[in-house]
Amino acid sequence: MARLGRITALLLLLLASCAQSELRHQLADLSPGDAGSGEKLFLQARDEAPPCASCHSIDGSQSLKAAPDLQGFAARAGSRVEGQSAQEYAFSSIVRPASYVVPGYANSMYANYDRQLADSDLADLIAYLLTL
């Protein structure tokens, strides 16, 4: 009987976490970002959030192979997911990385950037990505 209670408690926690899956940030709320600040954020960790550069390269080297190379990101981003602009794709990729996984890669991206980054951080990071 105690086991059933633990299972019920775990299910309730799971349901509660699903209900809290609303995004903290919305693309429409972001102001224009600063690409220079976004580049710094790309290269360094923020609180518990790992830097993007720990998995993504931007020079075509694919030396890390843990995640897609981002060289030419701006040119591809607007056509990666039908109906999404480059900016929408960049935003979604950061705050909901499991919503689209590039073929050939696993969904291993850090999933808490939405909670770890401020609106200005997201805007800056998107601005930087759209320069690549």
Within a domain: 16: no
**Domain total of the chain:** 1
Element of type H or E holding 79: helix 73-80
CATH value at residue 110: 1.10.760.10
pLDDT of residue 7: 64
> What is the sign, positive or negative, of the torsion defined by CA atoms of 28, 26, 29, 41?
negative
pLDDT of residue 20: 40
pLDDT digits (tens, 9 = 90+) for 45-103: 888 889 999 999 998 886 667 899 999 999 999 999 999 999 999 999 999 999 999 99
CB distance 124 to 32 below 8 Å = no
pTM for the predicted model, two decimal places: 0.78
* Residue 10 CB neighbours (<10 A): 10
Which residues form the domain of 119?
33-129
